[in-house]
Amino acid sequence: MYDKSDPRAALAQDAPGKAVNMLAQTGLVAKAQEGHFDRTAPQIDDASGQTWLHRGHNFIVAYTQAKPGARLERPAQVDEYCVLLPEAGAQIACEGNDEGASVPGYSIAFVPPGDSVVTMPEGGVVVRIFSSRNKDLAEACANARSYDEPRWHIPPFAPWPDPTDGWKLRVYSLDVPRQEGRFGRIFRCTTLMINVLEPFDGPRDPAKMSPHHHDDFEQGSLALAGAFTHYLRWPWTSDMADWREDQALAMGAPSLLVIPPPVIHTTRATGPGRNLLVDIFGPPRADFSLQPGWVLNAADYPMPQ
């Protein structure tokens, strides 16, 4: 259910009866996974800075407050990953490009598999997002044990097709003008879809919320600035053991909430100033990808046939 001004209102609706059939099953509903980076200890605290690790079923977020000169290495990385630079710039070197490339702040980059290193000359915030196929990072997450029992109702992770012109570092500016009918600023690679939403200046209008659910994939909501309240409603299955009370989770920045399917959810920016939220999906979403002009780098990454 979207406000008529929300571009997602144009998305195709689920086939009739799909949600009803799904909710007739039991054991589907998991707990939301809260990661409060603003008030918990980091999982890594070393010469490069402090890093918080929090995961979903198919993705892992590494949020780093980097010290000047920080080096964040990924030797023999198994698949493509994302580097989000909300303010500070970085040097990113990857296999076959030892000298590295200077990536300005307010950018998003996708790094190919193999050896790579992200260097933060001036320090600052850097967010790296990986698939959960990276077992070393998955095991290091604060909520690693929450996924000891796989989410059987989420399909097995499968990467999307390789980029059209081969593996290389790809960098995109977040300085993208608003466009009527387009939702956020969406980028995808073979493993992830990242939507850097337009900032809310002050609280969101409570008369224009967007409660909705996903049948078979999680959503990661990463707060980078401001404050948010996430509203969650667990649907009733035929087994009362699945039922939970509604939740309103107040979370500051930085934080990450992983929302399980098929929980109904919507989020309200509540901070008085700039509120910045990033949505994370793994692998990319087909419904967003089918909307003309929504995925800003669609030409670089083909969809599955």
CA distance 5 to 207: 11
CATH 3.20.20.60 fits 7-300, yes or no: no
- Which of 107, 114, 108 minimizes the C-alpha distance to 93? 114
* DSSP state at residue 288: H
Percent of the chain beyond pLDDT 90?
83
For the ranges 11-15, 76-80, 214-218, the lowest mean pLDDT is seen at 11-15
Q: Where are the domains of the chain?
A: 7-300
- Rounded mean pLDDT of 183-205? 97
pLDDT of residue 15: 41
User: What is the pairing mode between strands 90-94 and 114-120?
Assistant: antiparallel
Would you state the structure tokens that stand for residue 210, as one six-digit string? 């967007």
CA distance 165 to 39: 43
CA distance 108 to 25: 39
pLDDT digits (tens, 9 = 90+) for 214-270: 999 999 999 999 999 999 999 888 888 888 999 999 999 999 999 999 999 999 999
Alpha helices in 62-214 (DSSP H): 135-140
- Which of 18, 17, 2, 30 minimizes the C-alpha distance to 218? 30
CA distance 82 to 136: 17
Cβ-based neighbours of 113, under 8 Å, separated by 6 or more: 77, 78, 79, 80, 95, 167
Percent of the chain beyond pLDDT 70?
93
Task: Report DSSP letters for 72-106, one per residue.
Answer: EEEEEE-S-EEEEESSS-EEEEETTEEEEEEE-SS
pLDDT of residue 238: 85
For the ranges 36-40, 95-99, 130-134, 182-186, the lowest mean pLDDT is seen at 95-99
